[in-house]
Amino acid sequence: MKIAVAGTGYVGLSLAVLLSQHNEVHALDIVPEKVEKINSYQSPIQDDEIERFLAEAKAGERKLDLHATVDVAEAYTGADYAVIATPTNYDSDRNFFDTSSVEAAIAAVRSVNPDAWIVIKSTIPVGYTAGLRDRLGDSKIFFSPEFLRESRALYDNLHPSRIVVGAPKDDAEAVIAAEKFAGLLAQGADPAELERVNADGTKGIPELVLGTTEAEAVKLFANTYLALRVAYFNELDTYCEVRGLNPRDVIDGVCLEPRIGSHYNNPSFGYGGYCLPKDTKQLLADYK
């Protein structure tokens, strides 16, 4: 199967490497230097697993059918799936993600390939995919959120907590295509993940096929909760510092409650990174 991936940032490149284990993958980028690096088995981003996979492929120790290109026709011609992983920065003037790169990528796909299934991996507003399908009159578009950490993107793809895809429930063809794509992601994961036993007793990687809008909401609400959790422990830490308490003792005591857990609880100065600030702003804007 041929898969094209638009964008070679953390999301795009980690997906390209993951999927190239079992598929022919063409990674498209507008920066020639990044393309040249990838084709020379060098990662243009800092990610230990990506660097390891590329080094092993160069040494002949791992098979990756991966080719990077700046040529739109080369990437998209004959592709079964075209994955859009371009950046969507938050536009504070419009209170909306800037989705222009996503729409430009979709237009580029359709200019050479009217039949490919387009998978939006970029973070987008709730309701965007349904509106885009209607506006373009294009039913071969669905959404699949990512849940990755910078610098650990491939690791998180190899060990996913869950795989989520969103397609209209009344479009059987789109649901089948989305399920198939979820299967491709699971196929690329670490084989041990297929044998794991989940908290609810089920086995393997949970694959959720939701509506497009529900899948978009999952992404924004998940990141908003993570931001909330960071802010919560920051406030706990500040309280302890002001009152002369040992913050680590309090955090440990709080987090031994199983419903809270001992993860994601290191206080810092606010929350940052690329995703959490913009995703929380977009969700807030959706409430207005």
Q: Is 121 helix (H, G, I), strand (E, B) or coil?
A: coil
**Domain limit, last residue, from 212, 231, 246:** 212
Is there a single domain that holds both residue 198 and residue 229? no
Is there a single domain that holds both residue 132 and residue 258? no
Provide the CATH number for the domain around residue 234: 1.10.1040.10
Is there a single domain that holds both residue 134 and residue 260? no
Provide the CATH number for the domain around residue 74: 3.40.50.720
Which residues, 6+ apart, have CB-to-CB distance to 201 below 8 Å?
A: none
Question: What is the reported pTM?
Answer: 0.92
Ranges 16-25, 170-179, 197-206: which has the least confidence:
197-206
Q: What pLDDT, on a 0 to 100 scale, did the predictor assign at position 283?
A: 85
Is there a single domain that holds both residue 58 and residue 175? yes
Q: How far is CA 45 from CA 52, 70, 173, 246, 287, in A?
A: 12, 17, 36, 38, 35
Asked if residue 183 has pLDDT above 90, the reply is yes
pLDDT tens digits, residue range 106-122?
Answer: 999 999 999 999 999 99
Q: Are strands 207-210 and 96-97 parallel, antiparallel or unpaired?
A: unpaired
**Domain limit, last residue, from 187, 212, 237:** 212
Residue 278 structural domain: 218-286
Q: Which of 85, 68, 87, 86 is nearest to 24 (CA)?
A: 68
Is there a single domain that holds both residue 239 and residue 181? no
Q: Is 236 helix (H, G, I), strand (E, B) or coil?
A: helix
Summarize the confidence of residues 43-60 as an average pLDDT: 97
Summarize the confidence of residues 191-195 as an average pLDDT: 92
Is there a single domain that holds both residue 178 and residue 275? no
Asked if residue 31 has pLDDT above 90, the reply is yes
For 100, other C-beta atoms within 10 Å of its C-beta total 12
**92 falls in which pLDDT band (50, 70, 90)?**
confident
270/211 Cα distance (integer angstroms): 33
Q: What pLDDT, on a 0 to 100 scale, did the predictor assign at position 275?
A: 75
Which residues are tagged catalytic?
A: 275
**184 falls in which pLDDT band (50, 70, 90)?**
very high
Is there a single domain that holds both residue 72 and residue 206? yes
- Show the beta-strand stretches assigned E in 126-167: 141-143, 163-166
124/259 Cα distance (integer angstroms): 30
28/35 Cα distance (integer angstroms): 8
Task: Please answer whether residues 82 and 4 qualify as being in contact, where contact means their C-beta atoms are separated by less than 8 angstroms.
Answer: yes
Task: Please answer whether residues 181 and 215 qualify as being in contact, where contact means their C-beta atoms are separated by less than 8 angstroms.
Answer: no
